[in-house]
Structure 1
Amino acid sequence: MWMLVMFDLPVVEAAERAAANRFRLSLLDMGFSRAQLSVYMRFCTSHAQVQTYCKQVEAALPKGGQVNVLQLTDKQYERIISFQGRRKEPAKKTPDQFDLFG
């Protein structure tokens, strides 16, 4: 199962930028990878693990803005169509268990 955290946070004032950066760094500390500017993703081995990370994301939320958490099954993840510029990227594959911990 995959977890995507998508966010739109205010960054007009210095304090807002600092809060947004702390949130982004907390996602990286939790093992999320940056997929796009405000989209981070992480592979989870179970629904219970997704719930654990949801609680951690909630604890790290800054005051303002909007944060959405999306859950995808492995099959849904593999059906993502990605483009780099005008070039279509190869289909994504769920990592093997060995790849996750190796």
Structure 2
Amino acid sequence: MWIIVLFDLPTDTPEARLEYTQFRKGLLKDSFIMMQYSVYMRHCNSDENAMVHANRVRASLPADGEVRIIKITDQQFGRIEVYYGKKRRPTENAPSQLAFF
């Protein structure tokens, strides 16, 4: 399961820039990685785990702006088409899962 956070936050005042920075740093602290500008993603082992991280994002929402949270399966994520210019590149792989014995 992947959780993707897309956001469009104002940066027109010093206070708004601070909220933007705090929101972005919160995503990074919660192990999200930047997929594109203002688009961050994180792999989760289950839907329940994805809900935990979505709740963390909801708890840190800034006062203004727009934030969207999308959850997709590994299979759906693998069907994303990624292009750099006109050249297609492979989609990122899910991190390998740890096995405990």
Q: TM-score, normalised by structure 1?
A: 0.91
Deviations 1:38-63 (A, max 9, x none): 00000000111111111110111110
The question of 1:41 aligning with 2:44 is answered: no
The residue matched to 1:97 in structure 2 has which SS? coil
Please report the RMSD computed on the Cα atoms of aligned residues, expressed in angstroms.
1.1
Compared CA separation, residues 91 and 30, structure 1 to 2 (3 A): closer
Q: Which residue identity is paired with 1:69? A: I
Q: Distance in 2 between the 1:42 and 1:64 partners?
A: 23
Q: Aligned to 2:63, what secondary structure does the other structure show?
A: coil
Per the alignment, residue 3 of structure 1 pairs with 3
Unpaired stretches in structure 2, ≥5 consecutive residues: none
Residue 45 of structure 1 aligns to which amino acid in structure 2? N
Deviations 1:12-47 (A, max 9, x none): 111101100100000000000001110000000011
**Residues 10/91 of structure 1: CA separation in 2 closer, same or farther (3 Å cut):** closer
Partner of 2:16: 16
Indicate whether 1:89 and 2:74 are aligned: no
- Secondary structure at the aligned position of 1:19 is classed as helix
> Match of 1:28, SS?
helix
Runs (4 or more) in structure 1 with deviation over 3 Å come to none
In the superposition, the TM-score normalised over structure 2's length comes to 0.92
- For residues 61-72 of structure 1, the aligned pairs below 5 Å read 61-72=61-72
Please list every run of 5 or more consecutive structure 1 residues that lacks an aligned counterpart in the other structure: none
Give the secondary-structure state (helix, strand or coil) at the position aligned to 1:61. Answer: coil
Q: Give percent identity, aligned residues only.
A: 37
SS at structure 2 position matched to 1:3:
strand
State the alpha-carbon separation in 1 of the partners of residues 54 and 91 from structure 2. Answer: 27
